[in-house]
A = this chain, B = another copy of it.
Amino acid sequence: MSGAGPEIERLMALLSKLPGLGPRSARRAALALLKRRDQLLIPLTHAMQDAADKIESCRICGRLSTQNPCTTCVDPMRDETMICVVEEDSALWAMERVGAFTGKYHVLGGLLSALDGIRPEDLRLDSLISRVRSGRVREIIMALPATVEGQTTAHYIADRLKGFDNQVDITFLARGVPVGGDLDWLDDNTIAHAFKSRR
């Protein structure tokens, strides 16, 4: 109960579910939206409605996009022999900001985790294996966090790809990614460097 009336309280309750917003910052956000109706509330509502209507996960790589397959998947200028595997779109966005990678992507949608009960079938792992098996992929770059879950997931993928006829190199982002670090929180130079010195 915030004393603001049911409609505003519902708005606050939903805003507080956004990462980084607690009850107090959700109240401030709700007030900012209501005070700036034409400059913020209505444009943001439209942008969200637009996103809900148009954005879906690419059926090839899993990327969030208004096109399906996404622009990266259909872009003939991008090297289809390389796939960069990321946990979430945020890591892909970070890569694209840097602009150091010109291959294709695969968004897993999470990481394997015994603790959280996330199994292979909960992630886009079968579709990754299919892409590698059917395509001209020569290198898979594991741009996954340097956490237990990130390493477990990378090893699971490597295991699944053993014994294929086509030779696929599996590389990892090297220097610069701190242990437990989320790609989205790194500066662009660090990402570019880690890319160049992948092993």
Contact = CB atoms under 8 A, between A and B. Distances in A.
Nearest to A21: B20
Interface stretch (A92-100, A116-124, A133-141): A92-100
Nearest to A11: B47
A106 interface: no
Contacts of A1: 97
B34 A45 contact: no
Interface in A51-72: 51-52, 54-55, 64-66, 71
Contact of A51 (B27, B34, B88, B95): B34
A49 B17 CA distance: 18
Nearest to A13: B47
Nearest to A20: B25
Interface in A21-45: 21, 24-25, 27-29, 31-35, 37, 40-45
Given A55-B34, A64-B34, A71 B5 contact: yes
Given A7-B50, A11-B47, A44-B48, 6 more contacts: A4-B64, A5-B71, A17-B32, A19-B28, A31-B64, A31-B89
23 contacts: A2-B93, A3-B93, A3-B94, A3-B95, A3-B99, A4-B96, A5-B64, A7-B47, A7-B51, A10-B47, A11-B47, A14-B44, A14-B47, A17-B32, A19-B25, A20-B20, A20-B29, A27-B184, A31-B90, A33-B51, A41-B48, A42-B52, A45-B52
